Chains A and B, each alone.
Chain A
Amino acid sequence: MERFWQVLAQKGPYFLATLVGGLETTLVVAAGAMVFALGFGLVIALMRLSRLRLLRWPAIVYIEFIRGTPALVQLFVIYFGLPDVGLRPSPLQAAIVGLGINGAAYLAEIYRAGIAAIHRGQMEAALTLGMTPLGAMRYIVLPQAIRTMLPPITNVAISLLKDTALVSVVAAPEIMFFARNLVTETLQSMHIYLMAAALYLCMTIPLSRFVAALERARRAWR
């Protein structure tokens, strides 16, 4: 037990500095994937809501398949599989696209549920009052929908942040990548993995508290 504190005092700062080196990639991957997912998810959601079967079915297949398979497999297909067909993504590209594609499927469902939840009467009333459909969307439907969708969207963001740990296996230099290498070097698995855990908690716990606060505020507003 004494050794724990000894090692922590001696090597702790070095471990922490190395892990924090991975933090930048973690945040870049998470942010990049989230932006990709927010945009692409909207496209898929609109396809899903379309009246054309040609657009609806591919969207449905996409959503069901991506949500039904693990993110790790998707990452592997992109990073290790695509070179077979000529595309050679970098670890970072594979990470962002892989997690983005995964997040987009979940966000598409959230968008769909959120838009559908806004009473059709709102749209009708807006149109009766002389608004254009676009204006009605912008000023009436979307502001209400976004309020409902914000907690689940933030939850997707939290999952995305945790899933960045997976991209260490496609050699993206994020926290777990550095952690694993450090452990191989120094065999101090406990200190290093506990520190890595602490780093993740510093990111996810504030976000979870934020979601909880959002949901409380929403209930109060009702």
Chain B
Amino acid sequence: MLKLPAIYAENYRDWLPEMLDACLGTLKLAAVSFLLALVLGLVFAMCRTSSVGLLRAVSGAYVEIARGLPALVILYIVYFVPPQLMPDVALVALSGFSAAVIGLAIQGGAILAEVFRSGIEALHKGQTEAALSLGMTPAKAMAHIILPQAMRIVLPPVGNYAIGLLKDTAVCSLIAAPELMLRAKDLASSSFEPMAVFVLAAMLYFAMSYPLSLAVRLMEARLGRRG
């Protein structure tokens, strides 16, 4: 344990460029999944609050299942099952990156669907009616009344989801997606210094997630005050 500083001093010139490069892979993976999850979340939130019973039921089942499964299981299903089912179709033999993005987005979409749904439901319908009766156009009502309130409710949980997503990218190493943990595992076995390498990986994840969590806390404080 006390040898760590010495180990780092000796090796950082070899390790750091590799690990930082892998961090970019992690960030890329997280960013793409996040965007896809946002879209899926909005779509399924609409379904969840729809007046069509079938849409509500199906999206409800999707949300419950995708949230109740470990991310690892979802990733394995997305990565291993399609090639087995359709061995002749090259399209479904997803790369590690693609499978990771889709798998994380499937779970993220479910999580965000619930977040957006509570945001939508929390806004009293009377707000829209009041705005319209005051003579605002629907667009103005949306822009000045609904969306600002919805943002206040929704942004902190979305921010927290983003932090969780960044950490979940580590699991994608198990389906060979190009990110930090995968590189760390290789490096740990090739350098015979697992403790040093994994602690370095931990510090890099922390360096990526801590600014985000500070930003979320700042956002919560700012948004809370104006309420």
Report A's interface with B, CB cutoff 8 A.
Answer: 64-65, 67-74, 76-77, 80-85, 158, 162-166, 168-169, 176, 179-180, 183, 187-190, 193-194, 196-197, 200-201, 204-205, 208
Most chain B CB inside 10 Å of its own CB: which residue of A72, A74, A85, A168:
A72
> Which of B74, B185, B188, B206 is the one whose CB lies under 8 Å from A69?
B206
Chain B nearest CB from A91 CB (Å) reads 15
Chain B nearest CB from A109 CB (Å) reads 12
* Besides the known contacts A80-B188, A165-B72, A193-B80, 8 further A-B residue pairs in the complex with CB atoms under 8 A apart: A64-B210, A68-B163, A73-B170, A165-B73, A193-B77, A197-B77, A200-B68, A205-B68
Render B173-207 as a binary contact track against A, CB cut-off 8 A, 1 for contact: 11000000100110010000111001101100110
Do A68 and B206 touch across chains, with their CB atoms under 8 A apart? yes
Instruction: Count how many chain B residues have C-beta atoms less than 8 Å from C-beta atoms of the other chain.
Output: 41
CA distance A73 to B174 in the complex (A): 12
Most chain B CB inside 10 Å of its own CB: which residue of A69, A168, A208:
A69
B171 partner residues in chain A, CB cutoff 8 A: 70, 72, 166
Report B's interface with A, CB cutoff 8 A.
Answer: 1, 64-65, 67-74, 76-77, 80-81, 84-85, 163, 167-171, 173-174, 181, 184-185, 188, 193-195, 198-199, 201-202, 205-206, 209-210, 213
Smallest CB gap from A194: residue in B = B77
> Which of A158, A163, A169 is the one whose CB lies under 8 Å from B174?
A169
B77 partner residues in chain A, CB cutoff 8 A: 190, 193-194, 197
B213 partner residues in chain A, CB cutoff 8 A: 64, 67-68
CA distance A194 to B171 in the complex (A): 19
- Known A-B contacts A200-B70, A205-B64, A208-B68; A189 and B202 likewise in contact (beta carbons under 8 Å): no
Interface of A, helix, strand, loop or mixed by DSSP: helix
B64 partner residues in chain A, CB cutoff 8 A: 205, 208
> Which of B68, B170, B181, B209 is the one whose CB lies under 8 Å from A204?
B68
Do A74 and B174 touch across chains, with their CB atoms under 8 A apart? no
Chain B nearest CB from A152 CB (Å) reads 13
A183 partner residues in chain B, CB cutoff 8 A: 80
Smallest CB gap from B167: residue in A = A70
- Known A-B contacts A84-B194, A85-B195, A183-B80; A73 and B202 likewise in contact (beta carbons under 8 Å): yes
> Which of A76, A193, A204 is the one whose CB lies under 8 Å from B198?
A76
Smallest CB gap from B85: residue in A = A190
Chain B nearest CB from A166 CB (Å) reads 6
Do A193 and B170 touch across chains, with their CB atoms under 8 A apart? no
Do A81 and B199 touch across chains, with their CB atoms under 8 A apart? yes
CA distance A69 to B213 in the complex (A): 12
CA distance A42 to B124 in the complex (A): 39
A84 partner residues in chain B, CB cutoff 8 A: 193-195
Do A189 and B195 touch across chains, with their CB atoms under 8 A apart? no
Chain A nearest CB from B202 CB (Å) reads 5
A200 partner residues in chain B, CB cutoff 8 A: 68-70, 73
